[in-house]
Structures are given as C-alpha cells and as structure tokens.
Structure 1
Amino acid sequence: MPRSIWTGAISFGLVTVPVKLYSAVNRKTVRFNQLNGKTGSRIAQKRVDASTGEEVAYEDLVKGYEIAGDRYVVIEPSELESVQPEKTKTIDIEDFVDLSDIDPIFYDHPYYLAPGTGGAKPYRLLLEAMRETNKVAIAKVVIRQKESLVAIRALPDHDVLEMATMLFADEVVDPERLDDIPEADDVKTNARELDIAKQLVESLSGEFEPGKYRDTYREAVLAMIEKKAAGEEIVVQEVEEEAAPVPDLMSALKASLDAVRKTSGDGDAGGDGAAEKPAARKRAAAKPKAGAKPAASKKG
C-alpha cells in the first residue's frame, strides 16, 4: 500500500483542495554494491581531505561552492536557511495552459495527488473542470525545502490528478547550441523518399500500450544473477563486431516497409509511392468504445 510523502492543499483561486502526494513511479534499476575482489567484503566510502589524505569527521564538514580552481565560497547552514523559500503547505496554481503547449522535455518526476480529509468534492470539481477544458495547471510548491515548478493534469483514463515536477527553462539545453544538427537547406530529400518514409511510419503506427514494452536488459541481468546464485556457470561468448555496409537510403526504406508488411500480412511494398496505406496496425482508427474518454497526450 503506497504511503503519502506530503500533505497540503491546492490553491485554486479562493478555493483550497486538501491533497496527499504519492510517488507515481517505482524504479526497477538493478543496483550493485562495490566489493573487494580478493575478500568479497563491501567497500566503505570515506571522506578524505585531499591535501592531507586524512579522514574527516562528519561534524567538520562544511558546504563550499567552487568559484575557480581550488577556490571556494564557504556557506553556513544559517546562511542557506536565510534564502530558502517560505515553507508552505499549498500548491499555488499560477496558470492554466493547453496540454499540447508543454514540450515533454520539461517534465521531471511524476506524482499522484489524492484528495485529503474533506477534499473529495473540490478535488472532483477541479479534476472534471480540467478534463473538460483539456487544461494543465502550472503551479509552484515547496517540498523538502525546495521550491518546484509543477504541472497538474487530470489523467484521461483514471479519476486522479497527476502532478509532475518540471525543469525550469534555463535548465533545458537549447537545441540550437548543438553543432551536429545540419541546416535544412544542406540536406535534400525527394518526394518519393518522403512518401515511402511516411508509409513506413503509418505501417508501424498504433495505439500506445505501455505494458507491451519491457526492460529486457534488466530481466536478463536478474536472470543471470539468479543462475549464478544457484551455482550455475555463466558462459561469456565473445562477439566479433563487423562493420555493416551502409545501405542505400531508398533501398533501406523499401526493405523496411517490405519487412513490416510481410509481418502484418499486407503484401509487397514495391511499386510507386502511391501504394495504399496498410491497415493492419492502425488500431487507432477503430471506433471508440461506448463511454470512453478522449485520450490526452502523455509525457514522454
């Protein structure tokens, strides 16, 4: 049973909505400990003075911000407290925006918001209003002494509000700063190449089903650990890497489309770009079920 990690209220105009905050993810990363290969014992991490090589006691540690090579500004705890945001228990909504206006790159960590004591009705009212208008609330909240920018939206298939912490604009790298992105005028594509590429995209299109995607690497690592713990020998096979020839772009597009259509039973992809669009995987075009809610964009 998940436990709430924060309680407070959403400030919605003059209305307050008592809420409880829950983490929406349970990370499944396989974590390893560092061991001494000779003894099998865990490695202890120690705080060592770089100039003397001696271990430093915890009570002697201070915070320092590097302003130049080996030059630091030491900050006292009381000085940090003087600039920390005011501790409040409210999620202050500042704006409502269209869901499509938010680039998924700004999303950070997802949470669920559940109604707190006495908050069932205003919670439901806010959820339904946001769902009907397809709007997302942009708000600020202080959690664990840090002010965060957050986005709140009504999940399309569940009667619950989702809150995601967001990156601030100056934390996102401007893609214009990337040197490896060619100018549009420097790379030319022709209509036939584009048409086949679009057909390939259509052939691979369908509804998003999160459950069909699995972390196969994590599963393989856990299976290997289980076998080794049971005493089985792990055989490591050396794989020789061979440089694969770079195929012609048009040939690669047609071969890819042929492979997809053969798998879906749609026939050959040969001929001109006017070939009819495959329908085998276009489940999204099916009629919606009765009472189904319209899907909203999800973050990536």
Structure 2
Amino acid sequence: MASRVLWKGAISFGLVHIPVALHSATADSGLDFDWLDKRSMDPVGYKRINKKTGKEITKENIVKGIEYEDGQYVVLSDEEIAAAYPKTTQTIEIESFVANTDIPFVYLERPYYIAPINKGQKVYALLRDTLLQSQRVGIARVVIQTKQHLAVLVPSGPGLVLNLLRWGADIRPWDELNLPPEGPKAAGLSERELSMAKQLVDDMTEKWDPSKFRDSFKDEIMALVEQKAKAGKLQTVVQPDAAGEAEPARSGAQIIDLTELLQRSLRKGGAKAPADGATQAKVAAKPAPKSPVKSTVKAPAAPKKSRSA
C-alpha cells in the first residue's frame, strides 16, 4: 500500500524553503480489543457519564474546564479555546541547529518521514547532506491539526525524519528519583567490576536488527484467533460507518535559484524567510543557474505540567 500523505508544506531555514510532504513513519501493530455486547454482538462505544450521579448526559451540557486549585475550576468557552489555537501554517520552521547528540531520548515522541515534492529534491538533498556532514539536527516548530509541536529534523539514511518532541515542562526531573551518585568511584564501583561489565557489554554487542524482535503477546493472541477462526468460532459484527476525509493540504513554494537564497540567508545570519507571497514569487521567477551548486554551506553554530499529544 502506498504511503498516505498526512500534510504538505515546506521546511524553512534562512530564506530557503523546501516543499515537502509528511508521511507516518510508524504503524500501530498492537492489538485492538473491541467491546461487544455479548447478547447481540453489537459494538459497544463510550458514553458520557456524570461521575457523581452515574447518569448519561448530553453533549450540549458538557463544558470544558481547567483545574486551577484543588477542586476549583476555570470554565472556558469553545470560542475562547479556539482563539488560543496556534495559527495554522504549512511550514516546518527551523529555529536553530544543535549537535546530533544533544537531545536525550526521553524527549523523542513520534517520528514522521519527510519527502520532497514540487521539484524540491535538490534543496532537500542539500539540507540532508549538510546536516549529515555537520553532525547537526534542526530544532523546529510545526502546527499539525491545530496543535503546535516542538520537533527535531534528523537526517536518516536517504531521507529526513521529523520527530515530534515533548516539551521541557512534560519531562520530570531526575531529582524526584533516588539514584546512585554519578561516577564509578562515587557509586562505589571497583575497577574490576567496571572492567567485567564492559567485557560483558562487548560480548553482547551486535548490529541493530529490528526484525529479530517481535511482540510475543501479539503473536500468541493472533495464533489463538487463527485457531478459533479455523474451528468456525466466528461472530458477525456490523460496524457503524466512521469514515472521515483528510483535510486538503496546500503545496509548498517552488525554489528556483538556490545559490542566491543560500547567499542571502548567510548575509542575514539565518534570519527567517519573509512570509509575503510577493517576495517568494520574485525569487521563483529568476532563471535557474546553468551549473550545479559548488559552494560549501557552513551550518550555523549550535548555540503546572501539561499533557503531551
């Protein structure tokens, strides 16, 4: 099955725009147990229940509130919430570059593949190879379905991966845990113990191969499902229609004169690209250079708790 485009827009750094499409980099292979009414085999859905009375309430009687103090809520209208939504853009705006070892794994949340569109292959390759050679990644903001995300743009193999990041406020500090002091001496480790542990790690080291690891629970359940299905133990369930159509996305700007945009970006010290369409149209109208880009681009130097998506 062909990869479905989730979002179209552009990567922006300096004055350079790279038209791209966003694709999911993962597939949920976990088990999904549906709720069924055992009397009729009808699907069972979630109801809106008042937790105090236990009675079902209608959607019209539900308001949204934020707990300000223990038991004290501030109620917000739909209009107030809508006004606070970030402005929808079609740009992955790179704000800075950092060393590719700077971001702890705990910040990584969800990966997406980024692919070039609208003749953006050359400038896409330029960003990918520049990040690889400089051993840096791009820190960016992106709005997906009205929600603003912090993200990191990482070169990986032949492509670029946009990995959504958790906000710093969502990461709990280490000081909440009882951890041993840092450093082998402070933790009471002897040289012999450390040497033996390193030897064990060396003996168990191998090349990463994700195909070697499987979800044993899923395999066991699916084997049981297959066994019961072959024995004729099947129940007919008619699911209600729940089809939805993806929101059409806008295409990114087409880049023509890459050399001039890079030179202008360097002169401006990596300033953000102007948002007006007239400037982009003027750049797109310039004739393409007759020879490939030969200049080397130096990457810029690295310089109450909320719920995550």
TM-score normalised by L of structure 1: 0.70
Moved more, 63-72 or 183-192: 183-192
**1:186 Cα deviation from its structure 2 partner:** 7.3
Counterpart-to-counterpart distance in 2, 1:106 and 1:51: 37
Equivalence map 1:74-93=2 (5 Å): 74-93=75-94
- Once the two structures are TM-superposed, the CA of residue 66 in structure 1 deviates from its matched residue by 2.5
Residue in structure 1 matched with residue 115 of structure 2 by the alignment: 114
Distance 1:132 1:28 in 2: 35
Q: For residues 133 and 180 of structure 2, what CA distance do their matches in structure 1 show?
A: 41
Q: Are the structure 2 counterparts of residues 70 and 176 from structure 1 closer, same or farther at C-alpha, using a change threshold of 3 Å? A: closer
Q: 1:70 to 1:177 in 2, by over 3 A?
A: closer
Within a 5 Å distance, the mapping from 1:40-189 to structure 2 comes to: 41-155=42-156, 157=157, 159-179=158-178, 181-183=179-181, 187-189=187-189
Q: How many Å separate the matches in 2 of 1:154 and 1:42?
A: 44
Partner residue in 2 for 1:203: 203
CA deviation digits over 1:112-155, x for unaligned, max 9?
A: 11112132221121112112212100001111111111100111
Residues 1:214 and 2:214 aligned together:
yes
Letter of the 2:173 counterpart: D
Per-residue deviation, 1:39: 5.9
Q: Using the alignment, how far apart are the partners of 1:143 and 1:47 within structure 2?
A: 27
What residue is the counterpart of 2:229 in the other structure? Answer: 229
- For residues 198 and 177 of structure 1, the distance between their equivalents in structure 2, rounded to whole angstroms, comes to 29
Deviation per residue, 1:258-288 (Å, 9 max, x gap): xxxxxxxxxxxxxxxxxxxxxxxxxxxxxxx
Distance 1:102 1:44 in 2: 40
Q: Relative contact order, CA 8 A, sep 6+: which one is greater?
A: 2
Distance in 2 of aligned mates of 1:119 and 1:173: 40
Percent identical: 34
Distance in 1, matches of 2:125 and 2:4, equals: 21
User: 1:28-75: per-residue Cα shift (whole Å, max 9, x none)?
Assistant: 011112344566554342212344443222233221223345432211
Residue by residue, what CA displacement relative to the aligned partner does 1:201-252 show, whole Å, maximum 9, x if unpaired? 111012112222222221112112222333399xxxxxxxxxxxxxxxxxxx
Of structures 1 and 2, the larger Rg is shown by 1
Partner of residue 251, structure 1: none
- Write the letter of the residue equivalent to 2:15: L
Kindly tell me: are residues 209 and 52 of structure 1, through their superposed partners in 2, closer, same or farther at Cα, counting changes over 3 Å? closer
RMSD of aligned residue pairs (Cα, Å) = 2.2
- Which is worse superposed, 43-52 or 220-229? 43-52
Three-state SS of the structure 2 residue aligned to 1:150 is strand
Q: Give the residue type in structure 1 aligned to 2:163.
A: A
Rounded Cα–Cα distance in structure 1 between residues aligned with 2:25 and 2:64: 32
Question: How many matched pairs?
Answer: 230
> Could you list the per-position Cα deviations for residues 94-129 of structure 1 after superposition, in whole angstroms to 9, with x for gaps in the alignment?
111111111111110000111121322211211121
Structure 1 equivalent of residue 194 of structure 2: 194
Code of the residue aligned with 1:167 in structure 2: it is R
What is the rounded CA distance, in whole Å, between the counterparts of 2:49 and 2:206 in structure 1?
55
Listed as ranges, the gaps of 5+ residues in structure 2 are: 234-309
Shift of 1:166: 0.2
1:20 aligns to what?
Answer: 21
3-state SS of the aligned residue for 2:141?
A: strand
In the TM superposition, what is the alpha-carbon distance from 1:13 to its structure 2 partner? Answer: 0.3
Query: d(CA) in 2 for partners of 1:128 and 1:98?
Result: 15
Report the Cα distance in structure 1 between the residues aligned to 2:193 and 2:8, rounded to whole angstroms.
55
